[in-house]
């Protein structure tokens, strides 16, 4: 079985200080504790075989802290970086809850920036998933990257996903399609 675990980096200095911290800021003390808790939880609950991460400091640092708990190397992938814009406004809008049922095409073309970003994320998925037939892969990335990856794998841009710091999202290849096992699991953060 092939399982894809996606997690957002721990709390970054940018989340606390804003632009003063710079766009590529490292983790806060809380962010490092979140990453450590995630690593300990994964060590006891998931047999992770490979770790991939965005090269941005907050994701790379999170991946390294998790990897230390799992005794695994971290593989960086440029296309796992965060979007340079907010992705949610680029997704389709539906005036009423049932309007989505009338839409035949669930992959919204979106603006040029979103199409380009979605293409980057798709390439990262091709590169990473193409190397593995089985096993559990952990990807440490960012809100827009994770949500876009899930939208690509389930074949629809018609939803958004809540992605908290170091929460887990799991999809498993069930032979003919992706099975969403859980979204935004936070068991390891219960005491934070």
- The chain-wide mean pLDDT, for the chain, equals 91
171-189, pLDDT tens digit by residue? 999 889 999 999 999 999 9
Please check the confidence at residue 107 and state whether its pLDDT lies above 80: no
pLDDT at residue 105, rounded to an integer: 56
Please check the confidence at residue 106 and state whether its pLDDT lies above 60: no
Please check the confidence at residue 136 and state whether its pLDDT lies above 60: yes
Please check the confidence at residue 89 and state whether its pLDDT lies above 80: no
27-46, pLDDT tens digit by residue? 999 999 999 999 999 999 99
Bridge partner residues of 179 (DSSP):
172
Least trusted range by pLDDT, from 75-84, 97-106, 131-140: 97-106
Please check the confidence at residue 191 and state whether its pLDDT lies above 70: no
pLDDT at residue 109, rounded to an integer: 58
- H helix intervals, the chain: 13-17, 29-45, 57-70, 112-129, 143-154
pLDDT at residue 18, rounded to an integer: 83
Q: Where are the domains of the chain?
A: 2-92+105-189
Quick one: average pLDDT of 53-82? 97
Taking alpha carbons only, the member of 130, 152, 169, 144 closest to residue 90 is 144
- What are the angstrom distances between the C-alpha of 40 and each of 24, 46, 58, 129? 26, 10, 18, 25
Q: Could you please state the CATH topology (level 3) that the domain comprising 2-92+105-189 is classified under.
A: Rossmann fold (3.40.50)
Please check the confidence at residue 192 and state whether its pLDDT lies above 70: no
pLDDT at residue 91, rounded to an integer: 80
Taking alpha carbons only, the member of 29, 25, 31 closest to residue 11 is 31
Please check the confidence at residue 157 and state whether its pLDDT lies above 60: yes
Give 92 or 107, the one with higher predicted confidence.
92
């Amino acid at each position: 079985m092939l399982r894809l675990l996606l997690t957002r980096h721990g709390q970054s200095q940018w989340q606390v200080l804003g632009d003063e911290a710079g766009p590529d800021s490292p983790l806060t003390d809380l962010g490092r504790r979140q990453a450590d808790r995630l690593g300990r939880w994964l060590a006891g609950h998931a047999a992770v075989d490979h770790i991939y991460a965005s090269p941005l400091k907050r994701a790379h640092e999170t991946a390294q802290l998790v990897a230390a708990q799992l005794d695994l190397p971290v593989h960086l992938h440029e296309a796992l970086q965060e979007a340079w814009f907010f992705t949610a406004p680029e997704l389709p809008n539906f005036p009423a809850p049932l309007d989505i049922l009338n839409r035949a095409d669930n992959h919204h073309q979106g603006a040029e920036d979103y199409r380009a970003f979605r293409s980057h994320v798709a390439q990262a998925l091709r590169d990473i998933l193409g190397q593995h037939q089985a096993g559990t892969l952990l990807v440490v990335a960012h809100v827009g990257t994770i949500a876009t990856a899930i939208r690509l794998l389930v074949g629809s841009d018609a939803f958004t996903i809540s992605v908290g710091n170091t929460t887990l999202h799991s999809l498993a290849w069930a032979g003919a399609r992706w099975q969403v096992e859980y979204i935004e699991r936070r068991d390891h953060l219960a005491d934070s």
